[in-house]
Amino acid sequence: MTGAGGDGRTDPTADVPGPHGGCRVVAAGAPRGAAEAAVVALHGRGATAQGVVNLLEPVHRHGVTVLAPDAERSRWLPHAADAPHERNEPHLSSALAVVEAVVADAVDRLGLDREHVVLLGFSQGAGIAAEYAARNPAPSPVVVLSGSLLGPDIDPERYVGDDTADCAGAPVLLGVGADDPYVPVARVRATGDVFRALGADVTERVSEGVGHEVTDDEFAWVDALLARLVEA
């Protein structure tokens, strides 16, 4: 990990199986001891951890640490988001384990509760963030930007059962452009149905005239969320 504010170096993903195990985690913002909230940020295909840290500059604020892992070869998955899950193995399981390790690091090293650890992803990283959050329901806020749950069919029965823990009203933002060439709005709507079934407080934003990008409206939602977390 590249530490923030002189935190030093740790390797939260050292025990994660390949191909993403042992990946670099870029940290920015508040150092250990000053963090009141953290954002676990997952980059898109062909991008980098530093790139997603830079993308989030409009919402950087005092008291927030950003933790961004680097995917192997700049991709979390070798195939499309709507491919069968097994086609994306072992990358998918490895990516989910990276998220688990970085979330645990935020809780243990930074001393945060899950309500103050935000899962955020853009594009392919959004799919990983959504998939992790749906498989491991918790009160963590979730921000899914230009992405959706994974697999050919998004079926709530895959994630919701009689003994399933719930998201305890956690805020979830699903943002997509109406003209996004990669992410159909219908998949985002179906993703929202899953999170509502898991007990999350879901906000869906479909932006007209927008392609595969993050909007000012989505940044404003994230900024307001972080403001609430550092004031809580």
Q: What are phi and psi of 161, to 5 degrees?
A: -140, 175
pLDDT digit string (tens) for the chain, length 232 residues:
544 433 444 589 999 999 999 999 999 999 999 999 999 999 999 999 999 999 999 999 999 999 999 999 999 999 999 999 999 999 999 999 999 999 999 999 999 999 999 999 999 999 999 999 999 999 999 999 999 999 999 988 899 887 767 899 999 999 999 999 999 999 999 999 999 999 999 999 999 999 999 999 999 999 999 999 998 7
Look up the CATH architecture of domain 25-231.
3-Layer(aba) Sandwich (3.40)
Nearest to 95 by CA among 76, 78, 122: 76
| Residue 49: other Cβ atoms inside 10 A | 25
* Edge-to-edge order in the sheet of strand 117-122: 25-29, 64-69, 37-42, 117-122, 142-145, 171-177, 201-207
Nearest to 143 by CA among 208, 80, 221: 221
| Residue 146: other Cβ atoms inside 10 A | 27
Place of tokens 């103050």: 116
CA gap 166, 156 in Å, rounded: 13
The identity of residue 104, as a single letter, is A
pLDDT of residue 10: 58
Over the Cα atoms of the chain, what is R_g? Answer: 16
Summary count for the chain: helices (H), strands (E): 5, 7
Q: What are phi and psi of 29, to 5 degrees?
A: 95, -140
pLDDT of residue 11: 86
Is residue 191 within 8 A of residue 130, CB to CB? The reply is yes
Domain residue ranges of the chain, discontinuous segments joined by +: 25-231
pLDDT of residue 3: 41
Q: State the pairing for strand pair 64-69/25-29.
A: antiparallel
Is residue 65 within 8 A of residue 28, CB to CB? The reply is yes
Tokens of 38: 């953290």
Nearest to 214 by CA among 143, 129, 118: 143
CA gap 70, 72 in Å, rounded: 7
